[in-house]
């Protein structure tokens, strides 16, 4: 009688994922108020921080960076118009 071959050994455990960074989430959370903020200084600061905190170019980091760029694109003409009308 033939004896069946033993089953192959189990696969080694998968490597642990590296710890996630909170910077993409922070970029998104700072970029959103930049779009809808009322007071000019805080949304602008949030927009700039959202752009600089996006270390990777994927997922939430991209969303935060895009929100920050759009917020800057919307706020800069408003600030320039206010500066021109004051002078």
Q: Is it the case that residue 41 has pLDDT exceeding 80?
A: no
Q: Would you say residue 52 has pLDDT above 70?
A: yes
Average pLDDT of the chain? 82
**pLDDT (0 to 100) of residue 25:** 85
pTM summary value: 0.66
Please say if the pLDDT value at position 74 is more than 70: yes
How far apart, in Å, are the Cα atoms of 33 and each of 6, 20, 40?
Answer: 61, 23, 11
- Report the alpha-carbon angle 4-7-9, nearest 5: 150
pLDDT top residue among 32 and 57: 32
């Amino acid at each position: 009688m033939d004896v069946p071959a033993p089953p192959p050994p189990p696969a080694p455990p998968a490597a642990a994922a590296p710890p996630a960074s909170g910077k993409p989430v922070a970029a998104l959370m700072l970029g959103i108020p930049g779009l809808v903020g009322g007071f000019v200084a805080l949304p602008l600061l949030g927009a700039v921080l959202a752009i600089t905190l996006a270390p990777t170019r994927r997922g939430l980091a991209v969303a935060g960076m895009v929100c920050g760029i759009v917020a800057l694109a919307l706020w800069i003409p408003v600030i320039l118009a206010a500066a021109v009308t004051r002078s």
